[in-house]
Structure 1
Amino acid sequence: MYKISLFIFFLLFQSMCFCQSIKNFHIPDSLRTKTAEQLEKEYSKVFRIDNDKAEFYANTILKKGKQEKNNKLIYDGYYKIAHVKGLEGQKAHPYADSLLAITKDLSNDKDYPAKAYIIKGILYNYEFKYKNALDHYIIAQNLSRNRNTDQFYYIKKLVGILKTATEENEEALPLFLEYYKYQKQKVETKDKDVKSYIGSIFSVANAYSKNKQYQESKRYNKIGMEECKKYNDYTHYIYFVMSEGIADYYLKNYTAAATHLLKIEKELIKNKDFSNLSVAYYFLGKINKDSKKEKQAIEYFIKSDSLSFASNDFIPITRDRYEVLIDYYKKNGDKENQLKYIDKLFYADSIVNNSKQYLSKEIYRKYDTPILMEEKEQLIKDLDNRNYLLYCFLGIGAIIIFLLGYIYRKNKIRIKEYQRQADLLLEKSKEQKETVPVSENKRAEEHVVKEEKSKKLLSDHQLQDIKLKLEAFENNKDFLRKNITVDSLAKDLETNRDHLSKSVNELKGKNFSQYLNEIRIQYIIQELNTNERLRKHTIASIADDIGYNNSESFSNAFRKITGTLPSYYIKLLQEQS
């Protein structure tokens, strides 16, 4: 009965719960025969190493679960996608919410709904909403108690991470040690979880570093890197290297510290882990500063700051980079940059104090707020005499905005005209399938020309011969060839350039270039009307198909003849479909 109810729930709410998977995602042939266990292994290999690949495998798991109506795979797919997207700072909550929605009523499953609350808590932790994260962890812990030992201890680690984030480092360390001991015992059994085991070692190494016990941190870093090699699992490897670099910095082993931190730079960029990359650049800045390499130090501090602003992620330990930058620009008389980094320091402090709930009371501050405010006000006064430049720029900016608005309005009028002509073209092409649909102005011009032309030359034998050859040229679609000129066609038709040009003028009422363009445009309009697949081609591809050397010459010819652009006409046809 429960399974039937759950199946009905999926049918009714699949639009809500499944909308987050990649649109039109298809499992590649290379993965179709893979089992769930094999896909899980592939995901685990690349998670935190190549997150794009990890997301791809997670979507494959989710898709396979839907195809096989395997709820366990569906749950697992949602969990993994949410985890990867959370790491990348993307919108991960819809996946977690879907997972909660479809598992909240499970009562006999050892993994769910506790695991759904866990991933929701992890996402809140990524967003620095620590209270929300803790609330979800507590729910998950109550659900996993006496049901899932792995989850129960994993939540201890997650709570330890929260305590580390709020600078409660002494309280966090025992939680990490407890989780490590549990995983160390488990790795010796058949139910070993290598990734979690290595992750527990990193947690301990990081906790010792936070407690300023750097030798202990290095000891666990060494254990962690050895275990990565032993079990061929490198998910945490770069983070052990980074932790080693930070410990070496505090132990004043500057050369070793720089080597470690530079070693992981490319991997952090590849993983899009900009938060940790910002920290790595910060410590490289500190190393260069302590080594009296001021220029290099400033460059790394600026890089670190840029990444923090890009991700809106400000870690308290990196705060003094702003103090260094402010002093540097003050010393060099660069008041604009001095003011810029004072403002950045204020902003970073506001994020740290309000958004992340850090215990900033332990942060040593060389510059306190009142002093900075006085310095900022003085800088503003010093820069007042340059305000006239600002007014000039504002005036120029206003003119530019006016011009851009004028251009925008003209473009809007032009776009409306293109849309109107496209509507007219579609209507005309439906009514007269065998005539060239052209713009109103063009049609009027042709009517006048044809009225004025005399038909007396049609009795001429040579003219009749050209007429028949042109008909064959059109019927055989030879006009689709590239690089057709009046000279090349005259040669093909066994006549001369002058006679062909005059004959086209007499027979078609237009010059050769107009004639060639119109039969090509007539042809492609008819093809677009009947061939839906052709509408999906690019403009450049269509242009190439009918003999044009580039999309621009094709679009210009189309516009001159029809009054609109091919892109507007194709869009209209697709909307009609």
Structure 2
Amino acid sequence: MHKFCLIFILILCQNLYLSQSIKGFRIPDSLKAKDFKQLESAYNKVFRIDNNKAELYANTILSKGKKENNNNQIYDGYYKIAYIKGLESRSGYPYSDTLLSITRNINTKEYPAKAYIIRGILLNYEFKYNEALNNYIEAQNLSKNKNPDQFYYIKKLIGILKAATDENEEALPLFLEYYNYQKQKLNTNDRDIKSYIGSIFSVSNAYTKIKDYKRCKFYNNIGIEECKKYNDYTHYPYFIMSEGITDYYLKNYNAASENLLKIEEKLLKNRDVGNLSILYYYLGKINYDNKKEKEAISFLIKSDSLSFASNDFIPITRDRYEILIDYYKNKEDNKNQLKFINKLFYADSIMNNSRQYLSKEIYKKYDTPILLEQKEKLIADLDKKNFLLYWVLGIGLIIICILIYVYTKNKKKIKEYQKQAEILLKKSKDHTSEASKNIITKQHTVKEEKTKSILSDEKLQHIKLQLEKFENSNGFLRKNITVDILAKDFNTNRDYISKSVNELKEKNFSQYINELRINYIIEQLNTNEKLRKFTISAIADEAGYNNSESFSNAFKKTTNTLPSYYIKLLQK
């Protein structure tokens, strides 16, 4: 009966757990012949060293498990994928949820406790400590008197939670219990080298937290030697990093810098953003303490960028902002000074919300006399000038209203520019280049009849012919063309040219030149696809303008739209 129920549950869950495998994943040819033991071994060698490969092996385990209907391997595949995704700040919940769903009602040595463990680990990565602890307690109750490996492993996980909430004195005994348990297992057939070495790192890290650096180095050295002895390098870069940090606090700066730089490439390869941020912080501090200001600032900026990329901030790195703020203050770089003040406020808000147990400690530990002095001065100023608050609120409201008005106006402008660009495109399609010239000529004829009395017909006709020649030869593309230059070219005086253009074209000389140039460039844009890829500045040069601003203004005045909108429309 129990067996039948288990089969029934697995059938119900089949669609769910099949849907959670990676879409389109195919087992590589190089892995098809490998059995589960070989895949497990390959996974263990690269886990935390090259998580891309680790994920490949985990997916292969899951896929082969499904093909062979091997439930244990299916469970293991989901567990491993969830773990790796959590390490890389990607969502592992779909895999952990599926694992919990298909193991909730079974009773084996490992499950369902292991499903609660991985959920706790993922919640811990997101700083949801209470929820993580609840899952660990559930797992501990399930593993008690059934699976000592799990039972002690959960002690380690709870120790990690305590360390995260700065309860380091309480965390250390839990890590030591786990370490002693794993050490005892070394002489048995059930030894677990990876877990043993991991337990050493947990103890080493705990001693760092309570500032017992000599003990920390003692366990680091054990860990490094054991990695080499058992040829398991999963934790190796983290022992080296711990050595570097410990040497920094012991003021062994050269050794600290050497160790940290040694593992930079490995952390980059494994995309371990959180630890990279810490590594760059300590490299920044080493250089800062050694008066190498430029190098220090470069590393601290890198550290800050990675923290923002992962949205992960820890109190130990908070003073990087104080260093950066002071640096830019001394440089009188107000923009960057304000930037890092704002970043400091943001980092504090994240640390307060995500690490709620640390919030009081952060301020008690990190408030500086300078900040307190500034705070007192601000309070004194506010007591004297409370009315300024109302002015600021009033001005702020006015600014908001202005911004809304400007935004609305700009939005309408954009729509109008787009509409006018469409109208212009339609017009340019309706008329060939020659037809456009005929329209201009027609306008000229009408004006001629109205203005015969101003200039004699003979002079007007003579200048008219010269203007036509000027237009046909594209003389208007000549840069810096003026009435005086054209009068000289026509062998006449500027008044005649000016009056002739007014009478024949119904516009002043500047309008006349601009319209010729804009009509010309519109025609070129319509027919020359390469020209559309030019910058506005380059197109302006083609049209005879000295700069893009004067070109855009002339284009807008002539067509009621901007060249950028017209070009976008043409490209569509």
Same fold (TM over 0.5): yes
How far apart are residue 35 of structure 1 and its match?
1.2
Deviations 1:38-86 (A, max 9, x none): 1111111111011111111111111111111111111101100000000
Distance 1:82 1:137 in 2: 16
Distance 1:22 1:166 in 2: 35
Write out aligned runs for 1:261-276 (5 A).
261-276=260-275
* 2:6–2:106 Cα contact (<8 Å) kept: no
Is residue 256 of structure 1 aligned with residue 287 of structure 2? no
Distance 2:232 2:199 in 1: 13
Distance 1:407 1:68 in 2: 64
Distance 2:219 2:37 in 1: 30
User: Structure 1 103/196 Cα, relative in aligned 2: closer, same or farther at 3 Å?
Assistant: same
**1:120 alignment counterpart:** 119
How far apart are residue 9 of structure 1 and its match?
2.7
> Residue 168 of structure 2 aligns to which amino acid in structure 1?
N
How many residues matched?
A: 407
User: Structure 1 402/223 Cα, relative in aligned 2: closer, same or farther at 3 Å?
Assistant: farther
> What are structure 2's unaligned runs of at least 5 residues?
382-388, 390-395, 423-571
> Residue 53 of structure 2 aligns to which amino acid in structure 1?
K
**1:51 alignment counterpart:** 51
SS in 2 for 1:275: helix
* 2:273–2:306 Cα contact (<8 Å) kept: yes
> Residue 133 of structure 2 aligns to which amino acid in structure 1?
L
> Residue 336 of structure 1 aligns to which amino acid in structure 2?
K
* 1:342–1:372 Cα contact (<8 Å) kept: no
How far apart are residue 365 of structure 1 and its match?
1.6
**2:210 alignment counterpart:** 211
Is residue 243 of structure 1 aligned with residue 273 of structure 2? no
Is residue 111 of structure 1 aligned with residue 110 of structure 2? yes
* 1:298–1:325 Cα contact (<8 Å) kept: yes
Distance 1:246 1:36 in 2: 39
**1:198 alignment counterpart:** 197
**1:503 alignment counterpart:** none
How far apart are residue 7 of structure 1 and its match?
2.9
* 2:13–2:102 Cα contact (<8 Å) kept: no
User: Structure 1 354/371 Cα, relative in aligned 2: closer, same or farther at 3 Å?
Assistant: farther
User: Structure 1 394/249 Cα, relative in aligned 2: closer, same or farther at 3 Å?
Assistant: farther
Write out aligned runs for 1:91-102 (5 A).
91-102=91-102
**1:365 alignment counterpart:** 366
**1:347 alignment counterpart:** 346
Deviations 1:424-444 (A, max 9, x none): xxxxxxxxxxxxxxxxxxxxx
Distance 1:202 1:405 in 2: 62
* 2:21–2:59 Cα contact (<8 Å) kept: yes
**2:146 alignment counterpart:** 147
Is residue 64 of structure 1 aligned with residue 68 of structure 2? no
How far apart are residue 405 of structure 1 and its match?
6.9
Deviations 1:184-233 (A, max 9, x none): 11122111101000000000111111110111111111110111011110
User: Structure 1 396/276 Cα, relative in aligned 2: closer, same or farther at 3 Å?
Assistant: farther
* 1:18–1:98 Cα contact (<8 Å) kept: no
Is residue 160 of structure 1 aligned with residue 159 of structure 2? yes
**1:282 alignment counterpart:** 281
Distance 2:244 2:47 in 1: 23
* 1:352–1:358 Cα contact (<8 Å) kept: no
User: Structure 1 403/194 Cα, relative in aligned 2: closer, same or farther at 3 Å?
Assistant: farther
User: Structure 1 219/7 Cα, relative in aligned 2: closer, same or farther at 3 Å?
Assistant: same
**1:134 alignment counterpart:** 133
How far apart are residue 11 of structure 1 and its match?
2.9
> What are structure 1's unaligned runs of at least 5 residues?
382-386, 413-564, 566-577
How far apart are residue 5 of structure 1 and its match?
2.9
> Residue 118 of structure 2 aligns to which amino acid in structure 1?
I
Deviations 1:449-473 (A, max 9, x none): xxxxxxxxxxxxxxxxxxxxxxxxx
Deviations 1:493-522 (A, max 9, x none): xxxxxxxxxxxxxxxxxxxxxxxxxxxxxx
How far apart are residue 304 of structure 1 and its match?
0.6
How far apart are residue 333 of structure 1 and its match?
1.1
* 1:58–1:81 Cα contact (<8 Å) kept: yes
User: Structure 1 101/396 Cα, relative in aligned 2: closer, same or farther at 3 Å?
Assistant: same
* 1:83–1:123 Cα contact (<8 Å) kept: yes
Write out aligned runs for 1:128-527 (5 A).
128-363=127-362, 364-367=365-368
Q: 394-403 or 351-360: which moved more?
A: 394-403
Distance 1:162 1:348 in 2: 21
SS in 2 for 1:18: helix
TM-score, normalization by structure 1: 0.65
Deviations 1:130-180 (A, max 9, x none): 111111101101110000000000011001111111111111111111111
> Residue 62 of structure 2 aligns to which amino acid in structure 1?
L
> Residue 190 of structure 1 aligns to which amino acid in structure 2?
N
Write out aligned runs for 1:69-80 (5 A).
69-80=69-80
TM-score, normalization by structure 2: 0.66
Deviations 1:78-103 (A, max 9, x none): 10000000000001111111111111
Which structure has the greater CA radius of gyration? 2
**2:525 alignment counterpart:** none
How far apart are residue 28 of structure 1 and its match?
1.8
Distance 2:248 2:62 in 1: 44
**1:41 alignment counterpart:** 41
SS in 2 for 1:314: coil
* 1:128–1:355 Cα contact (<8 Å) kept: yes
Distance 1:268 1:411 in 2: 52
SS in 2 for 1:106: coil
Distance 1:11 1:404 in 2: 58
* 1:316–1:360 Cα contact (<8 Å) kept: no
* 1:342–1:376 Cα contact (<8 Å) kept: no
How far apart are residue 117 of structure 1 and its match?
0.4
Distance 1:187 1:229 in 2: 16
User: Structure 1 267/406 Cα, relative in aligned 2: closer, same or farther at 3 Å?
Assistant: farther
How far apart are residue 292 of structure 1 and its match?
0.6
Q: 192-201 or 4-13: which moved more?
A: 4-13
How far apart are residue 373 of structure 1 and its match?
6.3
Distance 1:231 1:23 in 2: 36
* 1:121–1:133 Cα contact (<8 Å) kept: yes
Distance 1:192 1:350 in 2: 44
How far apart are residue 3 of structure 1 and its match?
3.3
> Residue 64 of structure 1 aligns to which amino acid in structure 2?
K
Is residue 19 of structure 1 aligned with residue 46 of structure 2? no
User: Structure 1 332/136 Cα, relative in aligned 2: closer, same or farther at 3 Å?
Assistant: same
Which 4+ stretches in 1 moved above 4 angstroms?
Answer: 368-378, 390-412
SS in 1 for 2:19: coil
How far apart are residue 330 of structure 1 and its match?
1.2
How far apart are residue 403 of structure 1 and its match?
8.3
* 1:339–1:376 Cα contact (<8 Å) kept: no
User: Structure 1 3/101 Cα, relative in aligned 2: closer, same or farther at 3 Å?
Assistant: same
> Residue 175 of structure 1 aligns to which amino acid in structure 2?
L
User: Structure 1 132/411 Cα, relative in aligned 2: closer, same or farther at 3 Å?
Assistant: farther
User: Structure 1 190/263 Cα, relative in aligned 2: closer, same or farther at 3 Å?
Assistant: same
Is residue 90 of structure 1 aligned with residue 90 of structure 2? yes
* 2:13–2:101 Cα contact (<8 Å) kept: no
How far apart are residue 25 of structure 1 and its match?
1.4
> Residue 293 of structure 2 aligns to which amino acid in structure 1?
E
How far apart are residue 26 of structure 1 and its match?
1.4
* 2:133–2:158 Cα contact (<8 Å) kept: yes
User: Structure 1 292/154 Cα, relative in aligned 2: closer, same or farther at 3 Å?
Assistant: same
* 2:223–2:239 Cα contact (<8 Å) kept: yes
